[in-house]
Amino acid sequence: MRKPGVVALPARVLVDLPNWLGDLVHALPALARLHQGNRGGETWALLPAAHAPLARVLGVHVVERPPDAGLRFGRTLRGRFDAVLTARHSTRAKLLVAGTGARLRLASRGRGAAALGLATFPVIRSRHQRHDLNAALHALGVAAVGDEPFLLPLPSRLAALGHRQRWLLADGCPAVAILPATRGANGKRYPMGGFAWVAAALAAAGVTPVVIVGPGEEAMAASLARSGGARVAPTAWPLAETAALLAACDAAVGNDSGLTHLAAVVGCPTVALFGPTEPARTAPVGPAVIVRAPSADGAGGPRSLHNLHPEDVLSAVEALLPQGCERTASEAGHQAQGAGAGTHAPTRTPR
């Protein structure tokens, strides 16, 4: 097994990025820092084809990674890069890095990395996920990522497209992106009844709720369109166009999910709803307001999003809206509650 080498920048560097959108967004500050520190070299991103537009916005080159790519795919990249770094922690990702034969191959500790002859770096999981690659950046002579908010600048053409899409969906009215989906069943999803209540209150106030979900989640969006009076963005749009629409919205509200992280990083005023997951680890890297669900007993126990009242969510959203919209949205919410609106919302408990 060849001993890991040393690479000085500028060089040809490939970064293997995560599969999940939220994890990818958390890795963008490190990718941007590496790209800046590698001026005069070539910085490449290896990631799924659907996510490639986000890396291109940063100005890096892209290699599209096929599903389940491992050692064999890594060998197709031999001779192309001086250094290869993976932001993923799976054994398959480390086999891919090993297969590239690059002079410097970097991976997090564990999952066979050392046995594969890779140079390893520690990941401090008590810190925010944006810092996971700091030790790898240090090995490449690049400054670590800080705690400051990170924004992904969109090209003017793409930003203009987002404003046009928003105008068409919202008929020129203020627009709030509703982001109700999240992958997995780990308690990160705010109840649909709560989202519907917030959407209905916004719609009654003349603020257009725009539901944005991914492919396969159309039924969820349709439900909010029926019960909350929301418009639905097409799921067939490329991710870059979805990012542009989010950037053009007046505010966004969603779970601890990829689209919520994307909304924050493109500069949309964002409310992120957190229940059992820990914001210290996975809060958006872009500027966002964090609303945490209360614990069931109010004494620091497990936090459930079922305990987060829609009024609290609406209050956080209306604070981000243009002046004048927030008052009418709040009034509409109270009117809907008093009239017994058709959406089911949690009963408020004394605090």
Q: Are 207 and 173 in contact (CB under 8 A)?
A: yes
Q: How far is CA 336 from CA 89, 116, 244, 310, 330, in A?
A: 47, 61, 32, 12, 10
The answer, yes or no, to whether residue 13 has pLDDT greater than 80, is yes
Token pair for 78: 């031999």
Can you give the pLDDT at residue 346?
47
How many beta carbons lie within 10 A of that of residue 277, not counting itself? 19
On the question of a common fold for 12-139 and 156-338, the answer reads yes
Residue pLDDT, tens place only, 38-74? 999 999 999 999 999 999 999 999 999 999 999 999 9
**156: helix, coil or strand?**
helix
The pLDDT tens digits for 260-294 are 999 999 999 999 999 999 999 999 999 999 999 99
Quick one: pLDDT at residue 325? 62
pLDDT score, position 301? 75
In the CATH hierarchy, which top-level class contains the domain 156-338? Answer: alpha beta
Q: Which of 11-20, 234-243, 325-334 has the lowest mean pLDDT?
A: 325-334
| 75-125 tens-digit pLDDT | 999 999 999 999 999 999 999 999 999 999 999 999 999 999 999 999 999
Cβ atoms of 199 and 178 within 8 Å: the answer is yes
Q: Where are the domains of the chain?
A: 12-139, 156-338
Residues in a beta bridge with 105: 84
d(CA 231, CA 351): 34
Residue from 298, 190, 175 nearest 247 by CA: 175
Summarised one tens digit per residue, pLDDT across range 177-220 is: 999 999 876 799 999 999 999 999 999 999 999 999 999 999 99
pTM score of the predicted model = 0.91
Domain 12-139: homologous superfamily in CATH: Glycogen Phosphorylase B; (3.40.50.2000)
User: CA 124: distance to chain centroid?
Assistant: 20
Integer angstrom CA distances of residue 99 from 47, 70, 96: 16, 8, 5
Largest CA distance in the chain: 72
State mean pLDDT over 286-308: 87
254: left (phi over 0), alpha (psi -120 to 50) or beta: beta
For residue 329, what pLDDT is reported? 55
